[in-house]
Structure 1
Amino acid sequence: MVNITIGKELEGLTTTTKNMAYSTLLLAVGLSLGSFLLLLIGVYIYFLWRRKGQKQCKEYVSTTTLPSCTTPILLTQRSRNGPDEIPFLLPPRLKSSPRKREREEKKMGGMELINTHRGSLTVESWYPVGTLREDLYWVPDVSDASPRPDRAVQLCFSVAFRHDNEQLLITLLHLSNFPACFHGNVTLAELRLLPDNRRRHQAKARCEGCNLEFNDSFVFQVSSVCVSQCVLSVCVLSVDQGGGRHTVGRVLFPLEGQLGEGGRLLWKDLETSYNNQFSELGEMQVSLNYCPSLQRLTVARLKARGLQSHTDTGVYFQVSLHIHSQLIKSQRTPVVSGEAEPDFSNKMTFKLRPSQVDKACLCLELFGQGPAPIGVVMLGPLMYARGPQLHHWTDMLNTPNELVKQWHGLGRPT
């Protein structure tokens, strides 16, 4: 009895397993057929889309017409891989009339037109692409320019302003009637755009003698609003064999009203200082240094020479720092007597912030026994000084790591 029951259960399990296997097989066959049908449908849709695109392209090519004045360079070209490739059309080229071709040949001085071959593409006529802007390539014409017949030291330079990119173009050309006492030295020219002394350029003369050549161009980036308020400063220096720098003279050229269309060629006299260094009151030597990081102005190595009197009774220097009309600090040296060239070896320091440098000035006064000064020298920026005094102050600001030494003629106190 038990064996009969077990046999029936085994027959039931075998039937169930067979049904599951048949179901799995039918499911796999159905999925395969469905995937194959989807693939066929996709291929059919692709060929329909491709045939439709080729038909539209053929209709476009057949209906496209070119102007009567043009001829196609290359018509449709088919690939060798298949008969139904999409055609393409290269751009047309203009055909010039015989009269126009004759005018072009006359304009080009009888030159043949350019023939450029690139495969089946042939270009047989000129195609203008634009014109050159002459103001960007302006070069000063110095063929007819010549200095005046007098013996003044004159500087030849050109000034041009490019409004598009806001650039001031300065070209140094010649320096005529150069003094003979500087012929053996190296001649430099320093360009600055005042009142901003931080931007400067330097040029070196290419030869020696009475007439010097520079032929150097420099660019200052300045806005068109501010350029009319600027002053071009060109300072001519002579450097001796020992490295000493001597100021020959300078040119101050205000730009207001001087910048028209194109450029200008100018001859300007140098405000010479080599023959004005000597003063009937005498001369003084001073060394200056300014350290922006320490905010410290140093005055050292004061000397005097050529004094006509007061040497027996004694002289001394009083150095005062002013900001505008306000006296900030005043110091004086010890009295030195009995010397033709008194030397004051002490050093003076003044507190001066970088923001106050363009507003400050130094007043150096030489005193004798009387209450009034014998002579005075004012050193400072363009607001207070000119010539060697201004150049000395500017050199001090440009070389913060060294003492800048220079002689100055004593002026009469006001």
Structure 2
Amino acid sequence: EQAVAVAGGIIGGILLFVLLGITAYLLWKKFCRLFSYEKLINPVKTTNADAIIQDQANSEIHLKSTRSRSVPFIIPPTLHGRDWIHLTNEEQVQEDRDPFMTPQSGPRSSFHSLAGAYVVGTINPDLYKVPEDKSETDFPDGSIGRLWFSIEYEQESERLLVSLIKVRKLQAPADSCSPFVKIYLLPDERSYLQSKTKRKTLNPQFDENFVFQVSSKMLLQRTLKFLVYHVDKQKKHHLLGQVIFPLKNEALTEDNKLVIWRDLEKENLEPPSEHGDIQFSLSYNDYLGRLTVVVLRARGLKLQEESPAAGVYVKVSLMNHNKFVKSKKTASLLGTANPVYNETFSFKTDQTELDTASLSLSVLQSNKGEKTLLLGRVVVGPFMYTRGRELEHWNEMISKPKELVKRWHALCHST
């Protein structure tokens, strides 16, 4: 029995010793974890602590004093130990680092709060706003309305798809307005497509689709013409305005649906002159010393031969003291007495030369293998060369620098 008691005492002692050893090991391991955790969350050097606290105080004072709606850009506590450069605009940027150095990765602790963060700059939300569409609110003085439409071209079926969207701010001749729109594909002025009539509204919403059949070769020679009419109580049609839109400068594809708006223009109701008329704009930029000519359109031209192969173009020549300086010409449009160009040309002209310079615009017809024919010509310039409307146009251009001045002029056959 004594032997059994001794053996039991020895076994109990061994078990107690093992238990104490395990307990001591667990306590030591826990102590090591706590020590390493304290090192992880305190990477900021004590020597920078005063500077950080001072920067934080200055940032808070700066944020309170500003009235802007800026969003503070905050450096997390984990980056407080990095080096930062103070700039004049009170923002801070990190010094250059090795571009091939990969950032240290690791598990993000929930203890990374913004409690010790400080502000190094601000983000202005106004810089990231989407520009506001003011096409329905900003109308020029004397506006008679604005029209929205979209165009798309299907290459395989050779179809031009035109969507008439809406018209806004119509100026009706009566108290009520019932508008509709006719759409032409020039130079064909005999056939057109027509929208539905919208009753008693100055801001009609159409949302109608129209299809014109036109080959891809002839597409860039064509021009869309929109005529906006009002129907009165006696069923009479009154033209309110028009939009002329050449297709030659547009990239028309199936994947590129263009949504466009244009201000309505009043149609020139005067009958064409004997040799036709030409419309163009003039502008002079005194700062750049640049004379700009925008050839818009011509009408009522007396073609020498009614041939679809006959091309009509405009040649713009700059003269000084009646001596030729430089000339440029538009594209040639086939088989039309009412071509639409919308082409812009610029000439380098010093301001001191405006009293001796002039512009000559000649409308010419060319046939393949035949001599070029002059259909008409007009000269605009100072008092030395011109009188009447041509002189008024030139003087108005000079009196309104950097502004396009548009006018119609009668063509003549003088050389």
Question: Which structure is larger by alpha-carbon Rg, 1 or 2?
Answer: 1
User: TM-score, normalising length from structure 2?
Assistant: 0.32
TM-score (norm 1): 0.33
